[in-house]
Amino acid sequence: MARLSVGAPSRVPAASSGGPRNAEERSWCSTRGSAVVTGGPTVVEVVEFETTDPALRGEMTITISLADTDGGIDVLAVHDGLPRGLPTADNEAGWRSSLAKLAALVEADWNTRDRAPGEHL
């Protein structure tokens, strides 16, 4: 088993159902974590919204595991500790959207992998 550091805490824009309520209140996400490589790669990340809204406060743990399958890779994302102010349905919709975008990027790269520079489909 290998443990890899993800790096220093970072600040990234948080994906929220309604976005910032006004110019002064922006939702940000503070992250820290580590990647643990076992039978397949797993990333465990602890994140927390930086917000004045008490309903969105608290640490969340996101665990993403990758596993080889016939013809692809399974991605399992588990999000624990969702704040009470973030509806489960909105969180699930965000994950579906993010995973669909990831699949599109990977498939686009896969489809161009054996092509010469400048060669199109």
Render pLDDT for 79-107 as a digit per residue (tens, 0 to 9). Answer: 899 999 989 999 899 889 988 898 888 88
Structure tokens at 93: 């919709």
The count of C-alpha atoms lying within 13 angstroms of the C-alpha of 84, restricted to the half-sphere facing its C-beta, is 3
E-strand ranges in 14-100 read: 28-37, 41-50, 60-69, 72-80
Q: Is the dihedral of CA 106, 77, 9, 36 positive or negative?
A: negative
Model confidence at 71: pLDDT above 50: yes
Beta bridge partners of 45: 33, 62
- Find the range with the poorest average confidence among 13-22, 46-55, 85-94, 95-104: 13-22
Cβ-based neighbours of 17, under 8 Å, separated by 6 or more: 86, 87, 90, 94
Look at phi and psi of residue 102 and say left if phi exceeds 0, alpha if psi is from -120 to 50, else beta: alpha
Please report, rounded to a whole number, the percentage of residues in the chain having pLDDT higher than 90: 12
Q: CA-CA distance, 60 to 11, in Å (whole number)? A: 15
Tell me the domains of the chain and their CATH numbers. 2-112 (3.30.530)
